[in-house]
Amino acid sequence: MQTKPFRIGTRGSPLALAQAHETRRRLMEAHGLPQEMFEIVVLSTTGDRITDRALADIGGKGLFTLELEQQLTTGELDFAVHSSKDMPTALPDGLHIAAYLPREDMRDAFIGRETAKLIDLPHGAVVGSASLRRQALIRRLRPDLQVITYRGAVETRLRKLAEGQVDATLLAVAGLKRLGKEAVVTEFLDMETFPPAPAQGAICIECRIGDARINDLLLAINHRPTFDAVSCERALLAALDGSCRTPIAGYAVSDGEDIRLAATILTPDGQVSHSLQMQGKVSAAFELGWKTGQALREKAGTGFFDSWS
């Protein structure tokens, strides 16, 4: 019988803490355990500490998980809670994603300081975003805009916007909802014209492979439709060698035994893009994602990927 608290690893941003608290709440409800049986352990990651450069320039999104995964591997943490889109496609040996919570809204939010819609921004307006995907999609829709790299926690980006450092920014609707900040959104971007990042809106829980006690604990809160959809999207990323240097959009939706994946790849300037929609069986979600990524590679041709290097 468990006598010591389970140790939950998380980053220290308000959004990361909200995600850890949601995970703890669901585990308490699923297992009838008191709050004191779950200790939230906050770690500072390299990605949190370095905010003046693009992620691609300092090592990619794995910098948001490195310190947490080190403590998972040594057993100092029992499991760690992450934003799924921050997770590299290849995890350290001995670790895996054991569960996903029910997915929140997948869309991107446009937040304009004086202009409510992206399409209505004045010529030459400055838009801040840390995401190469968002940058490329903005440039595809509005090549006249100035798009700058703009990092930091949600609160930091909103403060910079209010101070006038940029005219607008984009954030995930899911994160704003989890922080109770949905009211700042001036436009919810349509997923057909502004498709989200793979795994956007999903919280995942990482733990050690073979730790039956922890895996069984987490299985009780795993949301299978989210698990299938995000597994499909992560396979797409793996097939395309997705990293912070690659503008890739994609989302999967399951319907009974079937699953559909829509995927888009872009050049960083947004001027060339290729899209595909494919569908298959939920039982082969990973295979569908991989197959779609390979088909996109063939459709785009080898020269397309030169701009990604």
- Residues near 83 by beta carbon (within 8 Å), at least 6 away in sequence: 15, 16, 19, 64, 175, 202, 203, 204
Which residue out of 48, 52, 57, 86 is catalytically annotated?
A: 86
Cβ atoms of 26 and 101 closer than 8 Å: yes
Distance CA 170, CA 188 (A): 10
**Residue 120 a catalytic site member:** no
Find the farthest-apart pair of alpha carbons in the chain and give their distance in angstroms, rounded: 64
For 82, 178, 275, the CA distances from 21, given in Å and listed in that order, are 12, 11, 37
Distance CA 196, CA 285 (A): 18
For 95, 155, 281, 285, the CA distances from 89, given in Å and listed in that order, are 12, 28, 22, 15
Residues annotated as part of the active site = 86
